[in-house]
Structure 1
Amino acid sequence: MLEGTRTPWSYFLIRLLFKFALKIFYGTIVVENADYVPKTGEPCVVCANHSNSLTDALLLVTSVPQRRRNMLRLTAKSTQFGKKTFTSWLIESAGTVPIKRRKDFGGQAVDNVMVMGHLMDALELGDAVCFFPEGASRFHPTIAPLKTGVARLVSDVLSRNRHNPDFEISILNCSITYMHRQHWRSDVLVTFHPPMRFTPKNNPELLDPVEYGDIRMLTARMHQQISSGTLDSPSWDLVRTSKLAARMYAPLGTRMSLGDYVRVARTFLDAFKLTAVTANRDANGSTTASSSESEKTEMRVEIQELGKLRQDLKAYQDALSKWGVKDDRIRIPLSRSTILRRIFIRLSWTLFLGLISIPGLVLWCPIFITTYIAVRNFKKTGPIWDTWDEIAQYKLVYGLISGLCVYFGTILVTLPIAPITAVVVPMVMWMALRWMEDAVSAFRAVAALARLLLVRDRTLAEIGAVRKDLYERVTKLAERLGLPQDPERSFSESGGREKGRVRGRWESRAKYFSIRRRRKRDWNETLRLYDQVDYPEE
């Protein structure tokens, strides 16, 4: 086996810095199938969807276990290099390779021959190289058509080693799913797929001279695998509706693993995608020529039913948003006396947590203010589709810089007791963050319960009747899609002890006071004063 490039000390430092920043910004990062990652010494190209700018690269670097790979060589657009910015320093220090893009040079031809040569040399040494085949990050729920560069790179490496028929190179595809990519303390799912392995002996079609159709076919396989592990949707509206269907079908919250939740939502999403195509086009284009007229009619009726269910789910979610009520409160109605009692308990808890968080919040305030101003000014530079994919990056970078300034500033101010301050300040800030998360969650519950009191019983009864009908239709659809008939038992028992997941009421209550991470009730929770169920306009 090859040995791979020796990891520079700066990479260990940068990886540790990435891990720290991501741990603070995101509530839970769940990594699935890390054992699929080829070991150091096995040439590997890591590919992932690209929806969150630099944050995607940071996630991959920290998600690849060090026991499997000692280093992941990144690639980034060349315009990120040579700047006197913290972001540029991070990219260069991580050993990232610059890739020139035509769009960055006015559409003119660019020369990446030397860069690709370096990457091939690294792969032949047994390194792992990271690519984002979409070519650009974007704030959109759909995965863009993949560029053919990765397939060509694999073809070139195999061709250069055709004299060794057993030389093996892998493509490791990865799906990254952000619950809310730019929001603080949201959750992330990183799913690695079984690697695609190639050798000159088994894949002669990829040796020079190679047919363009074979390159496109390999790229299509990559696209299919990456999109199968995330919420790949033509619109935000479909994502919103699919998540609602998933919550109605399996209202388990974090008793269901994050991976199972995403897969259930994606199953509904794949079904609702059919409604995005006209019934006439679907009947003529999706069915085979041998399909009978009755089969075509049956398909059209099924698509119409899906379309009606999608519209009704959207209307139901709109009604919930209008009244500020959660689906769970419609599913399990509460008496007014119970609502008042819970308001008193949660309001008291909110005030208590807020009070004990004050010392830490004083230290957090400069970070909040700096990040808020930086993101607000950045949003003004362009439209949503071109800027919002970098919001998380800006929050991470400015939060990290301002956080380090606060940390070292407090040490300087308290220089006589600096050794104590160096330990106490991070502890106080972390506990303040934990208490603040619980306080915000409790306040959201108070607000939701208070709004529930303002809704008339007749209105709640009408919304409840709508939900009952929708639940029956969603359950029937889930059965047709092959989802478990008893999600309460199936998803609460399946899977292991993933990060952020709770199993049973006792564990749920015990983890509420966990120092490491907050026990969430819903994978859609973020550190905001309102529940995040809506998305930007298309």
Structure 2
Amino acid sequence: MGRRGSPTPWSYFFVRLLFKFVLKIFYGSIVVENANWIPENGEPCIVVANHSNSLTDALLIVTSIPGAKRNLIRLTAKATQFGKRTFTSWLIESAGTVPIKRAKDSPEGKVDNNDVFVKLMEALEQGDAVLLFPEGMSRYHPTIAPLKTGVARIVSDVLSRNKNEPQFKISILTCSITYMHREHFRSDVLITFHPPLSFTPQSNPELIAPVDFTHIRSLTSRIRNEISSGTIDSPSWDIVRSAKLASRIYAPLGTAMSLGDYVRICRIFVEVFKWAEDEKKESIPPSSRSEEEDEQSATEKAKSVNLLRQNLKIYQDELSNLGIKDDRIRRPIPRRTILRRIFVRAAWMLFLCIISFPGLILWLPIFASAQYGARKYSQKGPVWDTWDEIAQHKLVFGLISGICVWLTCILVTLPMAPVTATVVPLVMWMTLRWLEDAVSAGRAFVALTKLLWVGKRTLHRMYEQRMDLHTRIMLLAVDYLGLPNNPETVFAESGGREKGRVRGPWERRAKYFSLRRRRKRDWNETLRLYDKVNYPELEH
């Protein structure tokens, strides 16, 4: 039975094109890995991903899947987003999104989504791809929530409806989304697709009705493991913070590594910190030699890892209090050099600010409206329930105000409207480039100025402290976790231009005007004058 999938509505095409542009403005780099795993048009497919950034998650996946692969992704969203006189509501409805009712939004606490599931199954049988977030809700949290069984039940129901067609195939395409700092302007995002899980009535009779619910739970658990394997999944922000510092000490600033490699290194340290924190120690340690470990040696290793994490926290706290980065401790520089670099950074920052000033006048209303919208919404509730929508509000407010600025410029220069319509976006884009460089220079200026006031005794003590941490981290990483002992060489060779990294002086100059060009040396940077290493306390 040939399937082509549903035709693409014009509104879906428009929304995808519009937000592909907006997302590239908001996020510094959007790196997509393994797009070759995406099933082709006409193959029934359920795309599932972790859900930590509200509507932005769906927009990122839709814009990251090549149109040649899938011309349409059926979206789902909470029912409370529909029927409102807002721009967000119009976007959701015009793209053919299917509303999902949530128990938490119902006064009785009970909902009926049977009609929704029937629509999704019919779409899959036509050869469509459906996007679902099995966590059931978006939240600002470092860990993936327990998954609902809806995806597994849909697969079971679709296979049962087509059991007379033994070769009918439906796939689950798992996707991991990792934000460096989801709500901050010019941060970075990694989207990793995993090999699809394929099911047919002939190969998977256990999923054909009547079904033992154990198989549904088993498939749901398998989906969660796939998603978790490609992102940073931690029970606390404190572990994430320590893991990122461990990663920076293991692969120091300047290491030419791809965003995917950086996330995987962070994840490895998160996993070992999670294991060490678990008092029950029911799981084996994440070691390449776990089979050789006995209970006593595993307990000793856990104590050693916990002590390392405590020392990392102390070291990071001191770095934060001093306002400097680990690299300033790793490579001490003379005060004369510090003064010279302060002068150079200040001059460069001032020059960039001067040439950026005309364009900044255009950007000012956009920055102000986006910040206002995000701040107003974040005050409505606790961090875990509101911060996941900050990026969404910044995107929407920034888009609307940006369009208003563009139209205003055209109206003011009406006789030259065709020229203005093109020149204004170009000026704004170059202003953003210069602003990034100015903020980078400003960040270095601030750090160097603070470094100047740190006493030699303190710097020497922290240098000795870092050397000890580096020795212990390398021992853990190389001898226990199986990581390479020369990360600055290995990751420079494994990363490439497709991973978001620009190589060589000529390419760096040629790509200055490119949307894909990177200026950052550190994947943790945002458009701020300080390094974002701390996270808000979650309110319960």
| Same fold, TM-score > 0.5, yes or no | yes
* Cα pair distance change 1:507/1:387, threshold 3 Å: farther
In the alignment, the residues of structure 2 paired with residue 254 and residue 417 of structure 1 have an alpha-carbon distance, to the nearest angstrom, of 47
* Cα pair distance change 1:512/1:61, threshold 3 Å: closer
* Cα pair distance change 1:326/1:509, threshold 3 Å: farther
Shift in Å, 1:113: 1.5
Aligned equivalent of 1:149: 150
Q: Is the 8 A contact 1:76 1:96 kept in 2?
A: yes
Aligned equivalent of 1:14: 15
Aligned equivalent of 1:201: 202
* Per-residue Cα deviation, 1:21-62 (whole angstroms, up to 9, x for no partner): 101100000000001000000000000000000000000100
* Per-residue Cα deviation, 1:304-351 (whole angstroms, up to 9, x for no partner): 000000000111111111111110111111111111111111111000
Aligned equivalent of 1:276: 277
Aligned equivalent of 1:79: 80
* Per-residue Cα deviation, 1:192-234 (whole angstroms, up to 9, x for no partner): 0000000000000000000110000000000000001000000
Shift in Å, 1:513: 4.1
Moved more, 180-189 or 478-487: 478-487
In the alignment, the residues of structure 1 paired with residue 193 and residue 67 of structure 2 have an alpha-carbon distance, to the nearest angstrom, of 15
Q: Is the 8 A contact 1:71 1:128 kept in 2?
A: yes
Matching residue's letter, 2:205: P
Matching residue's letter, 2:483: L
Shift in Å, 1:277: 1.6
Aligned equivalent of 1:442: 441
* Per-residue Cα deviation, 1:418-473 (whole angstroms, up to 9, x for no partner): 11110111011111111001000000001101111100111100000000000000
Q: Is the 8 A contact 1:41 1:125 kept in 2?
A: yes
Shift in Å, 1:508: 8.3
Q: Is the 8 A contact 1:77 1:98 kept in 2?
A: yes
Shift in Å, 1:498: 2.6
Aligned equivalent of 2:409: 410
Q: Is the 8 A contact 2:30 2:191 kept in 1?
A: yes
Structure 2 segments unaligned to the other structure (5+ residues): none
Q: Structure 1 length as normaliser, TM-score?
A: 0.96
Q: Is the 8 A contact 1:242 1:268 kept in 2?
A: yes
* Cα pair distance change 1:463/1:507, threshold 3 Å: farther
In the alignment, the residues of structure 2 paired with residue 234 and residue 502 of structure 1 have an alpha-carbon distance, to the nearest angstrom, of 34
In the alignment, the residues of structure 2 paired with residue 309 and residue 364 of structure 1 have an alpha-carbon distance, to the nearest angstrom, of 45
Shift in Å, 1:110: 1.7
* Cα pair distance change 1:513/1:341, threshold 3 Å: farther
Aligned equivalent of 1:523: 523
Q: Is the 8 A contact 1:257 1:498 kept in 2?
A: no
Q: Is the 8 A contact 1:443 1:529 kept in 2?
A: yes
Shift in Å, 1:249: 0.5
Q: Is the 8 A contact 2:52 2:139 kept in 1?
A: yes
Asked if 1:458 corresponds to 2:457, the answer is yes
Aligned equivalent of 2:186: 185
Aligned equivalent of 1:358: 357
Q: Is the 8 A contact 1:152 1:215 kept in 2?
A: yes
Q: Is the 8 A contact 1:135 1:146 kept in 2?
A: yes
Aligned equivalent of 1:367: 366
Shift in Å, 1:511: 7.0
Matching residue's letter, 1:96: T
* Per-residue Cα deviation, 1:343-388 (whole angstroms, up to 9, x for no partner): 1111110000000001100011111111122222112111111100
Percent of residue pairs bearing the same amino acid type: 64
* Cα pair distance change 1:11/1:55, threshold 3 Å: same
Aligned equivalent of 1:490: 490
The number of equivalent residue pairs is 531
Correspondence 1:229-248 to 2 at 5 A: 229-248=230-249
In the alignment, the residues of structure 1 paired with residue 114 and residue 392 of structure 2 have an alpha-carbon distance, to the nearest angstrom, of 30
Correspondence 1:171-320 to 2 at 5 A: 171-253=172-254, 255-278=256-279, 281-282=280-281, 285-286=282-283, 295-320=294-319
* Cα pair distance change 1:497/1:222, threshold 3 Å: same
Aligned equivalent of 1:2: 3
In the alignment, the residues of structure 2 paired with residue 509 and residue 163 of structure 1 have an alpha-carbon distance, to the nearest angstrom, of 58
Shift in Å, 1:81: 0.5
In the alignment, the residues of structure 1 paired with residue 64 and residue 25 of structure 2 have an alpha-carbon distance, to the nearest angstrom, of 15
Matching residue's letter, 2:489: R
Moved more, 250-259 or 177-186: 250-259
Q: Is the 8 A contact 1:252 1:488 kept in 2?
A: no
SS in 1 for 2:175: strand
Q: Is the 8 A contact 1:27 1:185 kept in 2?
A: yes
